[in-house]
Amino acid sequence: QVQLVESGGGLVQTGGSLKLSCAASGVTFSSSTLGWFRQAPGKEREFVASIGRNTDYADSVKGRFTISRDYAKNMVYLQMNSLKPEDTAVYYCAFRRGLFFNGLRNLPNVDYWGQGTQVTVSS
């Protein structure tokens, strides 16, 4: 059974930092592309970052967010720095079978989703 479990969300002030974690189980972690999406109230779910054959970032987070993975622990992380109120959203971990370049740019590419974790940035 595939499970993606996110943690690390919370409330932070503008300019602060948070680190999200996603624990993956029931998947072939080493040959997969993982990433993060987010969804703000009243908006569509959007791509944030992915890690597969490369690391890929949405323009809105480039230079502020860093995605990484730990193969030994089957974990993927999202370090978020210089947070802005517009980063407020529910953040979802995403999994796609196979290693790809820029492999999670589109929602239909995602094979599995986590349950989401709330990130709130106060102004």
**How confident is the model over 24-67, as pLDDT tens digits?**
999 888 899 999 999 999 999 999 999 999 999 999 999 999 99
| Secondary structure percentages of the chain, helix, strand, coil, to 5 | 5, 50, 40
Q: What is the structure's pLDDT at 10?
A: 97
Degrees, nearest 5: CA angle 86-87-89: 105
Q: What is the structure's pLDDT at 28?
A: 84
Say what the alpha-carbon torsion angle 5, 10, 15, 16 is, to the nearest 10 degrees.
-80
Chain mean pLDDT for the chain = 96
**Residue 8 burial (CB count, 10 A):** 16
Percent of the chain with pLDDT over 70: 100
Q: What is the structure's pLDDT at 30?
A: 86
Percent of the chain with pLDDT over 90: 93
Q: What is the structure's pLDDT at 14?
A: 98
Q: Maximum distance among all alpha carbons in the chain?
A: 40
